[in-house]
Structure 1
Amino acid sequence: MTDLATRPGPAAPQAPPPPRPGPLGRLARLAHRRRGTVVLAWIAALGLALGLTSAFGGQFTADYSAPGSDSSAAADLIEERFPGLAGTELGLVVHADSGIASVRDDVEALLREVGAAPHVAGVEDPFATPGAISADGRTLLATVRLDVDVPDDMPVADSLHIVELTRAAEAPGMQVAVGGEPVYNAERGEIGSEGIGLIAALVILLLMFGSVVAAGLPLVVAVAGLAVSSALTRALIALVDAPDWSTSLATMIGIGIGIDYVLLMVTRFREWRVAGLDPEAATVATLDTAGRSVLVAGTTVVVSMLGLFGMGLSFMRGAALVTILGVVVVVTASLTLFPALLGYLGRHVDRLRLPLRRSAPAAGHRVEGRPGRGWQRWSAQVQRHRVLATVAGVGILLAFAAPFLGVRFGFPDAGNGQEHMSTRQAHDLVADGFGPGANGPLVLAVDLAGADGEAALAALGGALPDVPGIAAVTPPRVDATGRAALLTVVPETGPQEAATEDLVHRLREDLPQTLAGTGAEVHVGGATAASLDSTANTASRLPLLIVSVVALSMLLLLVAFRSVAVAVQAAVMNLLSVAASYGVVALVLQGGWAGRLVGIDTETPLPAFVPVLMFAVLFGLSMDYEVFLVSRMREGWVRTGDSALAVTEGLAATARVITAAAAIMIAVFAAFVPSPDIVLKVIGIGMAAAILLDATVVRLLLLPAAMHLLGRATWWMPRTLERVLPELAVEGRPTDHLPAQGAAAVPAPPAAAAPVPAPR
């Protein structure tokens, strides 16, 4: 008889195996376990990038001309028929209170010294050149020809040497200055303030986490990504043309998003540790949830930058490629190097805490991603006053955008530089001695091939003096073959004035009629005409950029969050925040009290490519905060089915992280405001203002208020689209990573209802 005590009973229920993590979770596990290999791989990548730069590194070049424009045709004709005039030149200006004749010996001695300087091909004798001495005899302008084809090829040290020669020649009653793009490039120094941005970011991270280890992780990952991408940039520009400021733009964005992305993941990692996961499991869970948000956010930035390719401008394509390279490298570092570093530091993430901070949170205590009472109260107030919050948010953004209605487009010149710069002094001396139009002369390039050259030039000589707005016209210079001629037209007004633009249009309309019957063609060129053409060309392409970037971003958000309302409101609110940043830029460029705060003391035009560039960058960066916030809201919606609770708790749970991330991004961009380069200064101002407005007015006020107004409709999507579009599940599956002891450890905000499937 079988003993009942020994009879086998029913098998004990076996716990189901833990769900397999997604691709990012598996990547995190691999990087965590093979951390040494991953770190060595990044060191090897840096060495390879430096090797490629050393072997194939190129130089920055940028063509701001408008392809197919009249000024571009003039430049091509000059390069073909007058190759000696197509090189780089400097303008050396001397002003003597007692007259140039009284200091002629000193001027000739200075010209001999400058002529002997490195890379100087020759100096035009101003005493033998008609029009080189002003009508009052007190100002002289000498042309210094360089042996470099483009300004960027002139070594900085040699440009500064010429500036030093002019400074040494000054005497009481005698002012000397030299202008030109090579001198401007040398005087402004190195572009960029990466160190200031990193220091500011470190302070914010320390205040956020209270731990040196936790604060250091985002910095290490961002700097590693920046080092590799910066080294690769030199190799990239050997293949494509890119402006020198593109590296600063890529640095701004790379540092900002690198720190922000890892900040989000460090926060989530600490939540999972508090929930009871060991370091490896917490790393996998972090990449399987927050890592998805990082990947989607980085993709939106890349998509936005790809929109610049539709502009058809070579320098825009180059700047976009340099920036995309930086973003891709930084995102890769966030998804590989970060989990590898957690393999070493995961157990010690709260070590080296600041003495003024509380000790590391124990299980069950609030951590960064969990809602604090202050943010819970704020979130509840937004829900309660959602109509007022929506109206107030839109009103604030429109008020900031208003100054952009009066913006003046154009390219800043030496007259907008700082007063201590030699280029600014040379500009002012030329304007005082020869008139404001002398700083932006127009060049008439006449194609005489197959034409009656004498009749054409005679017709021009008779017509130009009668054109309103012209101060002077130089005699025509004919090439050796007699197939082309050049005339220099000096306007009565400065290059940035509306009257000068009217003169360019007038010449282009009237001169072809003047030459009718001669067989000659005339093109109006020069720096001023090229600036006008580039501005018009860029402005005409802006609608295409806006439509393409907005459409692609909406499609990405539609796939990520499976909600029509989320995609539409993100596009509308991002457009509002970008418009508000444009208004801030327009305000400081007016040169009033706001401009003086940032070092702009004269009214300055806005290059048309700057708002284009800002739109592409800011639309992508704004999506970062959209993804961070809405992914947490969708997480609550999928779990509870309560839209109001999901929005309120999602805002409360992410507000602190978004605020810290925005503060870091603002600090990084603001560090570039002191730059003497007007373009870089304006970009820094605009982006800092946009991030501030986006992270406060939009993400913490307008967006949750609008979602509360829509209610459950926020998460609606047609069934047809549901079946067609793939599901990214950007919020991940947090419950898959919970420890066995139950749902109490869920790091997401606690729900009031049992989990339900997301309503369709």
Structure 2
Amino acid sequence: MGSRHSRVRGVAARAGGWSARHRWAAVGIWVLFVVLVMGFGSAVGRAEVKDSEQLKGETRTAAKLIEDAGIEEPASETVLVQSKDASLKATDDAFRAAVAAVVKAVDATGEVTGITSPYETRTVSEDGRSALVQFDMRGASDTAGERVQPVLDAVEETRKDHPSLLIEEIGGASMTKTFDKAYGDDFKQAEYSAVPVALGILLIAFGALVAALVPVLLAITAIMATMGLMSLVSHAIPMSDTADSVMLLVGLAVGVDYCLFYLRREREERAAGKDAETALRIAAATSGRAIVVSGVTVCVAMAGMAFTGIADFVAMGLASLMVVAVAMVGSVTVLPAVLSLLGERVEKGRLPFLRRRTAGHGSRFWSTVLKAVLAKPVLSVVVATGALLAVAAPAVGMKTQELTLDQEFGDSLPIVQTYNRVNEAFPGGSDPATVVVKARDINAPEVRSALAEFRERAISSGASRGPVEIKVHDADNLAFVYVPLVGGSDLDEAGAGVDTLRDEVRPATLGEVAGVEAPITGQVAGSKDFSEQLIGSVVPVFAFVVVFAFLLMLLSFRSLTIAITSIALNLLSVAAAYGILVAVFQHGWGASLVGAEGVGAIVSWLPLFLFVILFGLSMDYHVFVVSRIREGRMQGRTTKDAITHGVVTTAGVVTSAAVIMVAVFAIFGTLSMQSMKQMGVGLAAAVLIDATVIRGVLLPAVMALLGEHNWYFPRWLRKLPDLTHDETPEAVVPGPRHRRDDEEPVRV
């Protein structure tokens, strides 16, 4: 019976067959889906993560108290006036004249309120060389960054008139303006670079413009559809700007990869003499199935982020999950329709300087490597595993923390230098701890007394050097206590100050008054709460991702051995990526190559984020390669021949896919933000290791050593659902293979 009449089972094969037969309908449905989702998403708008939804613990309690009271704290700004010469003091007439000029200039803009002189608030440094003029921006704090420029201009003009003094502005509005521009410029650079880079690599891989454009266009439409879905879903689960960036990164990488797998297989079958319809059927049943298995595994991994309970992580996980799901569906539905419509025209726009590649003949380089690996599998396993463990070794001493402003941006932004000068002169003044005090009557004598005692003990305990400011909102029975922390930008020392306030000062003062709530928040407290919540979620996230990935591999390949080795190899790949991160960004080995001098730590959210992303993305290659090996085994090849067939024939597409991923991720390694550098370098290094050492050396060597045990599937597990359905059509499986008595029969 020919392949046209063979019964093909499985979602991917059926979807591909239907799409190829109803080409225009499939394309039309996809376009309609993208347009409708984007339209509805634009119409309903998007709900962003609120401060009260970000974390659990005291930070969340404080944000909720402020939100319930309807209080919107204004964006506070500070102007540092500092003498360049130690002989000029804040008490001198020239210094006082400069302070008065600053007050007059910022007041004249009409954009500020509540201006205070350092001589009124005693915000003069101990050495007498520095003073702070403080004020609030008028209007909503979330738009203050858009309105702060006239104030910055006024301060700059005042500075020009007093050359003997440093006069610099810093605060919520000015930092928002600066960082929004830096952050926006960074991601515009990444977005504008990623697509051309991917297209250029695909042009080299396929040698034809049309073939290269198809994966890029499908990935872009998947990203566009996901943007609409994010708006719709955000009203149930709020989204964030970080989720947008991660979704774009994952969507482009995965969307292009899935199309690449499918398109390469279709071209390979046509090059082998199959007609267009048969080639598409084979691609749907083989690469299509691998895409579905890989996509579901990635989605499960992304879902693991929900266990953190951190709003940004939940948003990142959900956005990544959605874009992977949309790209997966598009790859097994609209892609076959597009390829059926294009036919031979997929080869249009050939580049004259690139020879037409004959698909399916494998890679000469990887054939040579594989020959050596299979000749000495034990040596290959020992050397490759030893090398990866050596690379992973630095991860044992990993130090994680929230990056301070100077660590995040270095000296690339002038405002960072201002931040450092303010912290040096007034430790903790730029990032004070904020105690949100809620009472039945905020003006009750016992509450007022407790507030005063808290202020005194905050300083006497050593947590702060003061001045401690108290701002009371009578109508809301709420008070804000601002406590500059000793240590300033040193998060360890400042964090110890937060612990002192929470564990010693508060219980002895505000804690003695019945009915008073006094959660302590602020940047340092928020960082501590974030880290503690993140650490608490590590075990659940790891367990969820590993267990479900194991089950999916077990049910997809009907092999206990493959499921175990898949998890082990993925964990080894992630560990090596951790080791590279620590070596570069914590120990500084080769840090100058990526502009990461002086960071000294890994941003606290990155290890868990990398684990989830890498565990999901590495399944792309693993599923694709193992599926091809399994296919060869089903065709009747020996395990060793099947390994050679699977690795060599997939080497080209895996290499192309890896180069695209590495290139896209490496773009993020060039950005100015250190956290983005770390993410980009970590992802790029892991994908590179995964596509070369893991898939090209360790996987075939381990499978060669295991031999027939690769296909071990105990009888007691055979009652589990069969996700494989052995979708390969007879065109791929020309005849029966010999099987052992204890193996499960192959259904074709």
TM-score of the superposed pair, with normalisation by structure 2? 0.88
Provide the secondary structure at the position in 1 that maps to 2:347.
coil
Deviation of the 1:461 alpha carbon: 4.6
CA contact (8 A) 2:261 2:653 kept: yes
Provide the secondary structure at the position in 2 that maps to 1:349.
helix
Inter-CA distance 715–170: structure 2 relative to 1 (3 Å threshold): farther
Among 72, 97, 108, the residue aligned to 2:60? 72
In the alignment, what sits opposite 1:41?
29
Provide the secondary structure at the position in 2 that maps to 1:612.
helix
Provide the secondary structure at the position in 2 that maps to 1:140.
strand
Inter-CA distance 270–505: structure 2 relative to 1 (3 Å threshold): same
Matched, 1:564 2:546: no
Deviations 1:714-758 (A, max 9, x none): 11010111233314146x3153358xxx78xxxxxxxxxx83247
- Structure 1 runs of 4+ aligned residues shifted over 6 Å read 14-17
In the alignment, what sits opposite 1:427?
419
Inter-CA distance 159–680: structure 2 relative to 1 (3 Å threshold): farther
In the alignment, what sits opposite 2:376?
385
Deviation of the 1:359 alpha carbon: 3.8
Provide the secondary structure at the position in 1 that maps to 2:286.
helix
Among 600, 607, 611, the residue aligned to 2:596? 600
In the alignment, what sits opposite 2:497?
503
- Letter aligned with residue 116 of structure 2: D
Deviation of the 1:292 alpha carbon: 0.6
Farther off after superposition, 597-606 or 236-245: 597-606
Inter-CA distance 141–106: structure 2 relative to 1 (3 Å threshold): closer
Inter-CA distance 257–521: structure 2 relative to 1 (3 Å threshold): closer
Inter-CA distance 647–129: structure 2 relative to 1 (3 Å threshold): farther
**Cα distance in structure 2, aligned partners of 1:480 and 1:63:** 23
- Letter aligned with residue 269 of structure 2: W
Which stretches in structure 2 are left out of the alignment for 5+ residues?
A: none
**Cα distance in structure 2, aligned partners of 1:700 and 1:321:** 32
In the alignment, what sits opposite 1:407?
398
**Cα distance in structure 2, aligned partners of 1:21 and 1:207:** 34
- Letter aligned with residue 703 of structure 1: L
Which structure 2 residues correspond to residues 268-347 of structure 1 after superposition, within 5 A? 268-347=265-344
Deviation of the 1:279 alpha carbon: 1.8
Which structure 2 residues correspond to residues 300-699 of structure 1 after superposition, within 5 A? 300-359=297-356, 361=358, 367=359, 369-416=360-407, 417-435=409-427, 437-449=428-440, 452-457=446-451, 459-474=453-468, 476-480=470-474, 485-515=479-509, 517-519=512-514, 522-590=518-586, 592=588, 594-603=590-599, 605-640=601-636, 642-699=638-695
CA contact (8 A) 1:197 1:671 kept: yes
In the alignment, what sits opposite 1:188?
183
Inter-CA distance 571–411: structure 2 relative to 1 (3 Å threshold): same
Among 715, 718, 723, the residue aligned to 1:722? 718
Which stretches in structure 1 are left out of the alignment for 5+ residues?
A: 1-13, 362-366, 744-753
CA contact (8 A) 1:179 1:422 kept: no
- Letter aligned with residue 44 of structure 2: F
In the alignment, what sits opposite 1:252?
249
- Letter aligned with residue 106 of structure 1: A
Matched, 1:736 2:731: yes
| Percent of aligned positions that are identical | 28
CA contact (8 A) 2:56 2:533 kept: no
- Letter aligned with residue 31 of structure 2: I
Provide the secondary structure at the position in 2 that maps to 1:723.
coil
Matched, 1:52 2:48: no
- Letter aligned with residue 143 of structure 1: F
CA contact (8 A) 1:410 1:605 kept: yes
Inter-CA distance 267–722: structure 2 relative to 1 (3 Å threshold): same
CA contact (8 A) 1:637 1:643 kept: yes
Deviation of the 1:554 alpha carbon: 0.5
CA contact (8 A) 1:303 1:552 kept: yes
In the alignment, what sits opposite 1:148?
140
Inter-CA distance 157–673: structure 2 relative to 1 (3 Å threshold): farther
CA contact (8 A) 2:75 2:171 kept: no
Deviation of the 1:426 alpha carbon: 3.0
Deviation of the 1:531 alpha carbon: 0.9
Farther off after superposition, 643-652 or 515-524: 515-524
In the alignment, what sits opposite 1:86?
73
Provide the secondary structure at the position in 1 that maps to 2:668.
coil
In the alignment, what sits opposite 1:30?
18
- Letter aligned with residue 504 of structure 2: D
Provide the secondary structure at the position in 2 that maps to 1:134.
coil
**Cα distance in structure 1, aligned partners of 2:708 and 2:565:** 15
Deviation of the 1:522 alpha carbon: 4.3
In the alignment, what sits opposite 1:221?
218
CA contact (8 A) 1:194 1:668 kept: no
Among 97, 104, 129, the residue aligned to 1:102? 97
Inter-CA distance 230–444: structure 2 relative to 1 (3 Å threshold): closer
**Cα distance in structure 2, aligned partners of 1:582 and 1:64:** 32
Inter-CA distance 420–426: structure 2 relative to 1 (3 Å threshold): same
- Letter aligned with residue 609 of structure 2: L
**Cα distance in structure 2, aligned partners of 1:401 and 1:159:** 47
Inter-CA distance 595–229: structure 2 relative to 1 (3 Å threshold): same
CA contact (8 A) 2:118 2:133 kept: no
CA contact (8 A) 2:636 2:738 kept: yes
Deviation of the 1:137 alpha carbon: 4.4
Deviation of the 1:474 alpha carbon: 1.5
CA contact (8 A) 2:52 2:61 kept: no
**Cα distance in structure 1, aligned partners of 2:275 and 2:637:** 30
In the alignment, what sits opposite 2:700?
704
Deviation of the 1:476 alpha carbon: 4.1
Deviation of the 1:217 alpha carbon: 2.0
Deviations 1:469-513 (A, max 9, x none): 432241544442795544332222134432222222233222355
In the alignment, what sits opposite 1:9?
none
Deviation of the 1:283 alpha carbon: 1.6
Deviations 1:88-128 (A, max 9, x none): 44444444535542323431243125543xxx6x3532346
Deviation of the 1:84 alpha carbon: 4.7
In the alignment, what sits opposite 1:755?
737
Deviation of the 1:351 alpha carbon: 3.5
TM-score of the superposed pair, with normalisation by structure 1? 0.87
Provide the secondary structure at the position in 2 that maps to 1:487.
strand
Inter-CA distance 491–718: structure 2 relative to 1 (3 Å threshold): same
Provide the secondary structure at the position in 2 that maps to 1:189.
helix
Deviations 1:353-391 (A, max 9, x none): 322333464xxxxx2x43334322211211122222222
RMSD, aligned CA: 3.0
Inter-CA distance 275–616: structure 2 relative to 1 (3 Å threshold): same
**Cα distance in structure 1, aligned partners of 2:585 and 2:293:** 35
Farther off after superposition, 69-78 or 704-713: 69-78
CA contact (8 A) 2:555 2:720 kept: no
**Cα distance in structure 1, aligned partners of 2:157 and 2:681:** 37
**Cα distance in structure 2, aligned partners of 1:265 and 1:499:** 54
Provide the secondary structure at the position in 2 that maps to 1:735.
coil
Provide the secondary structure at the position in 2 that maps to 1:472.
coil
Inter-CA distance 239–414: structure 2 relative to 1 (3 Å threshold): same
Deviation of the 1:438 alpha carbon: 2.1
Deviation of the 1:162 alpha carbon: 5.1
Provide the secondary structure at the position in 2 that maps to 1:465.
helix
Inter-CA distance 66–329: structure 2 relative to 1 (3 Å threshold): closer
CA contact (8 A) 1:62 1:242 kept: no
Provide the secondary structure at the position in 1 that maps to 2:415.
helix
